[in-house]
Structure formats: structure tokens, C-alpha cells
A and B are shown apart, each in its own frame.
Chain A
Amino acid sequence: MMQLCGTDTIELEVNGEKRKVTVRAADTLLHTLREKLGLTGAKPGCENGDCGACTVLLDGWPIKSCLMLAAEAVGHSITTIEGLKNAPMQKAFFENWGFQCGFCTSGFIMTCHALATIHPGADDDTMADWLQSNICRCTSYEEIQNAVKQVLGKGDSSGVQGVVSMKEK
């Protein structure tokens, strides 16, 4: 049985690297990534599951890292925006002006990148369903949709280590 009492050291696999990190059992993954591992791409917005600014990938699937404990991520593969190395979705956001202030951008890109990887042929309804997980206060929605449409259908599987299919999960 895995157990973590008080403060302890765990090993996380982040962006393909094994990282040892000392956490409180009550630390969220978002806090751990930003404050302990120096990966500040995932942003703290609401910290309540509403905004999506903190989105990272867990085994290739988007999750809100503010609603996950670091301890829960042991044994899984985590991908943050820092782990996407010029993925087509990043390029498409840039080319389509899919951001203004940029605060929501990393979360949006992680959601959209996962969509293009898992459902490369996603229709408009599926795209709308996935995009509703993230909020942009600067209202870049139309440009974000254009960026996603640019990538969808072209296959986008770079950058994410091992998407675990729902059957295996």
C-alpha cells in the first residue's frame, strides 16, 4: 500500500524525466509543479476546477492540476506545456493569434493538444465539448477555435509521452 504521511519524497515522471520531489500529502499537483519543480507553465487561476488555466496531461489526458494531489500522480506520466516542444498546436495558436494576455494559453494548448492527439478527426461538437473546459477572460475564443481547426485532421501526436487508452486506464 502506498502511503504518504506529513511531508515525504515522491518520484514523479514529468515531461519524460523522473523527478524526486518533497511534498506534503495535501499538496496539489499544480502547487508541486510550480513551487517545487519550477514548471510555471500551468497557471493558478481559480484553483477550483472552473477555469482550466492549470491544465496538464496525465497519461495523455487533460486534467486540472489544481484538483489533483501530487501524491495521486505517482506512477503516471505528466506532460506540462514545457514538455511540448514546438507541437503543431503551439504553432497554430501563434499563427492564429489564439491569445491576448496569455494567462489561459498554456491550459488551452494542453486541452487542444490532447484533443488533436486523442480525437484527430474530432467534429465541431466534440471540439466545443472539449474547449468548454477552459475559460479565456480576454475572449480569444474564435481565434482559439481557428487554431484547433488548423491542426485537427492533420494528426498531432508529438510531445506527449504515451497516451494511455481508456481501455488500459
Chain B
Amino acid sequence: MIPFDFDYYKPDTLLEAIDLFQDLSEQGKMPMYYGGGTEIISMARANSIYTGAVIDIKGIPECCEFGFSGSNLVIGSAITLTKIVESGLFPMLGITIGRIADHTIQGKITLGGNLAGTVIYRESVLPLLISESQVVIAGNYGTRQAPISELFDGRMRREPGELIVKLIIDSTYTNLPFFHRKTTKIDKIDYPLVTVVAMKKDDRILAGFSGLCDHPFRSIEMEDSLNEKGLTREVRIKNAMSHIPAPVQEDIHGSGNYRRFVLNNILMDVLKM
């Protein structure tokens, strides 16, 4: 049971949601946008977050868009992981998010919620980073669009009150050859020890990582090393691993050395793509 009260709003338009966020903030309600609610409910129950009002975005048409539009795939931020998996529209994304939590929770988690959440893994960002997706964000100024690489530096950079509306992916990325591996400590359903998602575009390997450091990332330096064709696979991997952009995590899932060992083996398979 959630040990405090909050109000629940389900706006029908983007404008209503943005205005509401501002009004509720001015009333001191500390509002939160509400996607699947899995993180909000579990953290509220444990008393690790507080809000006086949630704004459910599942009634906003732009957040519920899903499908090809012209040469792009558009995925609204309120679309559930299950819907993306079952659609088969973007297999690399489908396979990746099909390993987030378990099958039932995937029916509740939204793409926007996984990107904006506080849990450090945010595995859905990996295919979006390497497919150079665009993010549409709304605020009290209207909407803006930017490449995800500009907005995501381990977490989604947003001003208070800004709402992730949708992701736009160039459809040429949706059927390129890809690689996905999620390793966990013991159980299949767990947070990642290391997750690697890679894709081959124009004979170049693009790769994103979660679980390795305290935030998910794509590193152009690591990709450059992996793609240095004249060198042996071992040397390319050694060079790539020297460019890991942050300290490798040491926690209950595994030591830093073990994570490096696992990453080394995964990268061997990535290079066989």
C-alpha cells in the first residue's frame, strides 16, 4: 500500500498535461508524469519518492502514436514494451526490451518511463542510441526535437516539466543486422551484469552498453577501436576496453574484473557479426 496520498490526472491533450504540470508545481504538489507507473508505485510504496499528484500520459494522442510514418518509425512514449515486442516493427528494440523485467511487467512499462526512470540500466536506450533516434520533448514553450545523443548523457536531460512525447527512428535502421546479449548474475529475469546491443551499418559496428558502468552509454571511441580492421580481434577489443568512459561497476551482480571478462567474451561474438 502506498503510504501517502496523491491526486491522479489523465489529460486528453499534450497542452493540458504541460499546463497541469505547471499549475500543480505552483501549488507545491511536486507532480510527476506517469507512464506505466511501475517505478512510481514501487518507489512510493517503499517511501523512497514523494509526489502530491501524478499526470497519466496514456490519454495523450501524441504519446500513443505507434507505426511507420513516411520514412520513419514513430513510437510514442506511452507505448508499452509488450506492444513494441508483439508488433515486430523494430526487432533490435523488441529483443532488447523483451529482456527488461519479465513478460507481464513489460505490458505495463512504457518506453518513456524506461528512458526517464531512475533505475540506472534503462536498457531500451541502447537500440535508440545506436540507431541515432530523435526525441520529441514538450514543455511550456511548445515542442522541440533533438537527436537522442544530445539529450542522453547516461540519463535523459530534461528541464522540470518537460515531457518525453515520442521517439522517431529512421526506418532504414529497423532491419539492419544486429546483436543483443544480456548477461545476468543467476536468473534470466534480473538487472543486467552486462548488456550489449550492437548493429552493423555500412560495414561499421555500432554498439551500446548497460550494466557495465553506472549508466548506459554508446561510445564512439570504443566503436572506432572495434572497427579498426587491420588489427586482430583481440587487439581491437583490448583497445575498445581501454576507452570505457566511466569506472566499471563493482556490486552484488559482479566485480569489475568479472564484468570486464564477460564484456571481452561478448565483444568477441560482436566482432563475428
Contact = CB atoms under 8 A, between A and B. Distances in A.
Interface of A: 1-6, 24-28, 31, 47-49, 52, 55, 58, 61-64, 66-69, 71-72, 111, 129-130, 132-134, 166, 169
Given A1-B12, A63-B108, A67-B105, A132 B82 contact: no
B258 interface: no
B7 A49 contact: no
A132 B188 CA distance: 8
Contact of B107 (A2, A27, A52, A62): A62
A132 B103 contact: yes
B227 to A, nearest CB: 33
Contact of A166 (B1, B6, B83): B83
B82 A61 contact: yes
Given A31-B1, A66-B41, A132-B189, A25 B8 contact: yes
Contacts of A61: 82, 107
Nearest to A44: B1
B8 A69 contact: yes
Contact of B6 (A25, A64, A133): A25
A68 B45 CA distance: 12
B5 interface: yes
B269 interface: no
Contacts of A111: 104
Select the residue from B59, B82, B104 with max chain A CB neighbours within 10 A: B104
Given A66-B41, A67-B37, A28 B1 contact: yes
Interface string B101-124: 111110110000000000000000
B104 A52 contact: yes
26 contacts: A2-B8, A2-B10, A3-B9, A5-B7, A5-B8, A25-B5, A25-B7, A26-B2, A26-B5, A26-B6, A31-B1, A48-B42, A49-B105, A58-B107, A62-B103, A62-B104, A62-B107, A63-B108, A64-B105, A67-B108, A68-B37, A68-B108, A130-B104, A134-B104, A166-B86, A169-B83
Contact of A67 (B9, B38, B103): B38
Contacts of B103: 62, 129-130, 132-133
A49 B42 contact: yes
Interface of B: 1-2, 4-12, 16, 20, 36-38, 41-42, 44-45, 54, 56, 58-59, 80, 82-83, 86-87, 98, 101-105, 107-108, 188-189
Contacts of B104: 52, 55, 62-64, 111, 130, 133-134
A169 B98 CA distance: 18
Interface of A, secondary structure class, is mixed
A48 B11 contact: no
Contacts of B41: 28, 66-69
A4 to B, nearest CB: 4
A61 B9 CA distance: 24
A64 B103 CA distance: 10
B7 A6 contact: yes
Nearest to A48: B42
B42 A67 contact: yes
Nearest to A35: B1
Contacts of B45: 47-48
Nearest to B99: A129
Given A1-B11, A48-B45, 5 more contacts: A25-B8, A72-B56, A130-B104, A132-B188, A166-B82
Contact of A49 (B4, B59, B101): B101
Nearest to A54: B104
A71 B114 CA distance: 21
Contacts of B7: 3-6, 25
B56 A166 contact: no
Among B2, B83, B87, B188, the most chain A Cβ lie within 10 Å of the Cβ of B2
Nearest to B10: A2
A28 B80 CA distance: 19
